[in-house]
Amino acid sequence: MALSDVALCARALVMIGVNPIASFAEETVEAEVAGMLYPALRDGMLAAYPWRFAARGKWLSRRVSQDGEDETAPDGLHEFALPGDFIRLLALESEASALPEFELRKGIVACDSNRAYLRYVGRMAEASFPVWFDMALIARLAAEFCLPLTESTSRAEYLQKRADDLFHQARLADAQQSTPRRIEDFPLLEARG
């Protein structure tokens, strides 16, 4: 079942024993806490692991100055704009090299290549989250919402442990969503003969 941002927060609030919300616009402490913490916690969960379900790839656009010239950083690297849904860099490739020299900067990536292909974790609609990610996110939300709403440190610690366990399970489930990569050209395997 696809859940919205509000539905995810409502389930987390139920887990800590407080009233669920129907909207972030409600004039309740629960809605205020959920609305304030949710975006950062969602993005933090997406950034915490190279999730296959949230992986994206695209050729980046070079930044151009107001006079139409390509933007080049003082260090000679070409500047490329990051996508608006960018959360975490997974890999950067160019036509010339699978490992170009690059540096991630605020809102851009500077690279020594004329073209760059970015593989990244991107922000996505909550309805697209797999159920195992929903469960891990709900547990994390409950752990973070607990202290400001209940002031119970023991319950918050328990919920954090549960969130860590569900995060680990979600990582395992995500890792099983594709064929494992074959290890090739590894010196220790060659030494075994």
Alpha-carbon distance 64 to 86, whole Å? 20
Whether the Cβ atoms of residue 174 and residue 168 lie closer than 8 Å to each other: no
Round to whole Å and give the CA distance between 58 and 84. Answer: 12
pTM of the model: 0.83
Residue in this structure with the two tokens 């697209």, named with its chain if needed: 128
Question: Residue 189: what pLDDT?
Answer: 62
d(CA 9, CA 184): 44
3-state secondary structure of 119: strand
118-161: per-residue pLDDT in tens? 999 999 999 999 999 999 999 999 999 999 999 999 999 999 99
